[in-house]
Amino acid sequence: RIYPLMRVTLTTSDGASVTVSRQLTKHSGFIEKAITDMAVDDNAVPLSAVAVDVDDATLKLVIEWLTEHRDDALPYPEKTDEERRADDIPAWDQAFVQKWDTKEDQQQTLYAVITAADKLDIKGLLDMTCKTLANKINGKTVEEMREILQLECDFTEEELAEIRKENAWCEN
Amino acid sequence: SLLFLFNPIPRMDIFSLPDVFHRKLMKTMEIKDRLTLRLTCRALEKLVADTHAGEFGGGAILLNYPAFKGGPKSIEFLIDEVKFKKIELSDDRLEEFIKFRRRLFNGVTFWKMHASYFGYVIPLEFVRQLTDKFTVKYLRIPINEEAGIETALQLMSIFPDSKYMLDLGVALNLTKLMALPSTYKLFFYGYTEEKMQIPADVFCRLIATHEHLTILHRCVIVSRDDFKRIVQVSLNDISRY
């Protein structure tokens, strides 16, 4: 049972600390496990701080997302192989990610949030960021994909020709 | 410091992201995107080969028999609307295609796979290799000749965990009809040697064996006791789900 008023302090990798409601942290498998491992009475207030390997700026974004999704059902529904849709990102989440477009290094922010979602075990956020990146590269050309993913082509011309020849197995 | 000024912001690359994310991302890619990703760089080409393609609504393996004689001459393979070139059944071409398929994904799930063939012989080993690491939830096989039942059983043996949907349009005696393995859906529109009627015992057995049963152009004549039995079998069946 989660008590809405119960709060937990998180310390970030760059030394900041932030106190948030357990209503938010209940969506993080990592934080919930850390609290469980403390073996404290659920009524104990305040709880000891939980150290998270996420920097302050990224954690603020994560908390913003968690605040919007605080009432999402738990446990998060296990997605199996059929989850290949990427066009069902909620409007709020789309706007949330769009905001990063104004930042200098949007890709870096997205990657930082993805890494944080994985470290904190927030499945819904990981799914959403995955779909966001998928939507960026779906249907793009090779050059566009390289640009979006910031990749250098390290193939020789012969290797590229060989892959193109193999790809020709696909008619459309 | 000057050193700081000349150091660019550390660039995060996609390969620094967690494996769980890579696997998840690759499951959302369409086949066409996987083909394109293969051309971007070595590391992504490898990621494409090493990841599961996710689940697709439908797939098909079509064995083509020109003139309906002898073994199949070629095989067609489809993933949703993506069609692959006909695979001529010569050793070199088979090997080439299998090699390509293994570089395109290391597994795939189909909600429904349609396997169609005309004739008795299928290149079983090739189909086995082609569909290695495939998960097929529903395998649908049309059977148009009695001998095709054996072929269907062979195909079913490749996918032991699938649910089967058999479209049976062949003349079949009742013993053979009853001997069919359990299916999710049996659609029987062929003839039986016993003319139009299916005995109540056989009908009872069939509804106990197949989750969904459709029989066209036949009739079942039942007594009151037969009817009770049929209802009982159906109720027992329902209680399983």
Residue of B59, B55, B47, B58 whose CA lies nearest to B103? B47
**Which single residue is written with the structure tokens 């477009």?**
A101
Which residue of chain A is at minimal alpha-carbon distance from B27? A84
What tens digit of pLDDT does each residue of B127-162 get?
888 899 999 999 999 988 887 888 889 889 999 999
Distances in whole angstroms, Cα of residue A1 to Cα of each of A20, A41, A42, A68, A70: 17, 11, 8, 21, 15
Q: Do residues B134 and B108 lie in contact, with contact meaning Cβ atoms separated by under 8 Å?
A: yes
| A3-62 residues touching B, CB cutoff 8 A | none
Q: Is B54–A81 a contact, with Cβ atoms under 8 angstroms apart?
A: yes
Mean model confidence pLDDT for chain A? 86
Q: Is A150–B11 a contact, with Cβ atoms under 8 angstroms apart?
A: yes
pTM: 0.84
**pLDDT of amino acid B151:** 84
Continuous segment of H or E residues that includes residue B32: helix B31-38
Q: Which pLDDT band, with edges at 50, 70 and 90, does A14 fall under?
A: very high
Continuous segment of H or E residues that includes residue A166: helix A157-167
Q: Does residue A46 have a cis bond before it (omega within 30 degrees)? A: yes
Q: What domains are defined for chain A?
A: 7-138 (3.30.710.10), 140-172 (no CATH)
Q: Kindly provide the ipTM of the predicted complex, given to two decimals.
A: 0.87
Residues in chain B with CB shorter than 8 Å from the CB of A149 are 13-14, 40, 44
Q: Does pLDDT of B6 surpass 50?
A: no
Whole-angstrom distance between the N-terminal and C-terminal Cα of chain B?
Answer: 70
Q: Do residues A138 and B33 lie in contact, with contact meaning Cβ atoms separated by under 8 Å?
A: yes
Q: Shortest Cα distance from A85 to chain B (angstroms)?
A: 6
**pLDDT of amino acid B224:** 87
What tens digit of pLDDT does each residue of B21-65 get?
999 999 999 999 999 999 999 999 999 999 999 999 989 988 776
What tens digit of pLDDT does each residue of B76-113 get?
889 998 999 988 777 678 888 999 999 999 999 999 99
Among A79, A126, A151, A164, the residue to mutate for chain B (most B Cβ within 10 A): A151
